[in-house]
């Protein structure tokens, strides 16, 4: 059977931050940021504690910014419960530490995620099948999550994030804990996803080189403008020079 990618998305729900700040107990972590999220895959690159996860949570609509606005198609996505629910429906989020239940099967978990995303009942089964196929876990469909390898569990969490074909996908350190082979596999999966905008938070040069169309550096709480990878690392650049360019961007 050929599976169709289901889409419930509106034509253009562009995503932007306007004067967004994040602070915890009065301590500013992310300085006022205004940006429009480019189409394609954008790597949020910053060292530990620079605020990547905080920004991802704001974009996911699970943490309101301390100040400023997350705009979705020009509307404040945190304005009300209804606005947040609509935002969640078309947004996929892979948290840094996705604690998964171990006693359910892959299929049950992804079905549940589809229900949670308000995928219509008649479309749920197909939506789950598409997501499971996209992360290459068809053979593990009926396996218990607890019986999978760490890399496979990361892919189950990714399937739960992408089910229902969200047009905004937020992946927080998606390759953490994976070995080089699993990391390569996941890079392949990420490159094949149909979401209009994908954010990958990472501090790993190899993740950025493998998947990103744009890179956005976060340094000292300041979020820089996204840079096209084709400018930072022109075609034909050798790996060492490309890695150096990214490390320099990270260090500022």
Single out the segment in contact with ligand ATP by CB under 6 A; choices: 52-60, 99-107, 190-198, 235-243: 52-60
Strand partners, 105: 144
- Judged by CB under 6 A, which of 50, 111, 167, 207 binds ligand ATP? 50
Nearer of residues 59 and 127 to ligand ATP, judged by Cβ: 59
- Judged by CB under 6 A, which of 15, 20, 46, 68 binds ligand ATP? 46
174 binds ligand ATP (CB under 6 A): no
What is 61-93 written as a DSSP string? Answer: TSS--SEEEEEETTEETTSSHHHHHHHHHTEEE
Question: Distance between CA 164 and CA 186 in Å, rounded?
Answer: 19
48 binds ligand ATP (CB under 6 A): yes
**Please, what is the end-to-end C-alpha distance for the chain in angstroms?**
50
Count the residues of the shown chain that bind ligand ATP, applying the rule CB under 6 A.
Answer: 12
107 binds ligand ATP (CB under 6 A): no
Nearer of residues 67 and 102 to ligand ATP, judged by Cβ: 67
Residue 80 CB, nearest distance to ligand ATP (Å)? 23
29 binds ligand ATP (CB under 6 A): yes
Give CA angle at 85 (32, 171), nearest 5°: 60
Q: What are the residues whose beta carbons fall under 8 Å from the beta carbon of 56, sequence distance 6 or more?
A: 44, 93, 170, 172, 199, 201
Question: Cβ of 39: how many Cβ atoms within 10 Å?
Answer: 14
53 binds ligand ATP (CB under 6 A): yes
Instruction: Say if CB 198 and CB 207 are below 8 A apart.
Output: no
252 binds ligand ATP (CB under 6 A): no
Single out the segment in contact with ligand ATP by CB under 6 A; choices: 41-49, 117-125, 206-214, 230-238: 41-49
**197 phi and psi, to 5 degrees?**
-130, 125
Residues that bind ligand ATP (CB under 6 A): 24, 29, 46, 48-54, 96, 203
């Amino acid at each position: 059977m050929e599976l169709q990618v289901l889409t419930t998305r509106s034509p253009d729900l562009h995503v932007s931050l306007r004067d967004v700040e994040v602070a915890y107990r009065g301590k500013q972590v992310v300085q006022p940021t205004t940006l429009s999220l480019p189409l394609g895959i954008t790597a949020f690159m910053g060292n530990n504690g620079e605020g990547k996860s905080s920004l991802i949570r704001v974009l996911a609509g699970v943490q309101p910014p301390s100040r400023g606005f997350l705009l979705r198609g020009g509307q404040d996505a945190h304005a009300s419960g209804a606005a947040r629910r609509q935002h969640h429906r078309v947004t996929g989020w892979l948290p840094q530490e996705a604690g998964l239940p171990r006693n359910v099967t892959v299929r049950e978990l992804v079905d549940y995620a589809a229900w949670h995303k308000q995928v219509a009942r008649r479309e749920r089964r197909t939506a789950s099948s598409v997501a499971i196929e996209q992360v290459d876990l068809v053979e593990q469909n009926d396996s218990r999550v607890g019986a999978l390898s760490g890399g496979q569990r990361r892919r189950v969490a990714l399937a739960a994030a992408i089910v229902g074909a969200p047009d905004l996908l937020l992946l927080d350190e998606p390759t953490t804990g994976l070995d080089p082979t699993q990391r390569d596999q996941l890079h392949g999966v990420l490159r094949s996803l149909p979401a209009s905008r994908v954010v990958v938070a990472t501090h790993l040069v190899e993740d950025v080189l493998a998947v990103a169309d744009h890179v956005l550096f976060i340094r000292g709480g300041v979020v820089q403008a996204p840079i096209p990878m084709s400018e930072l690392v022109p075609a034909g650049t050798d790996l060492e020079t490309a890695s150096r360019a990214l490390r320099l961007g990270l260090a500022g």
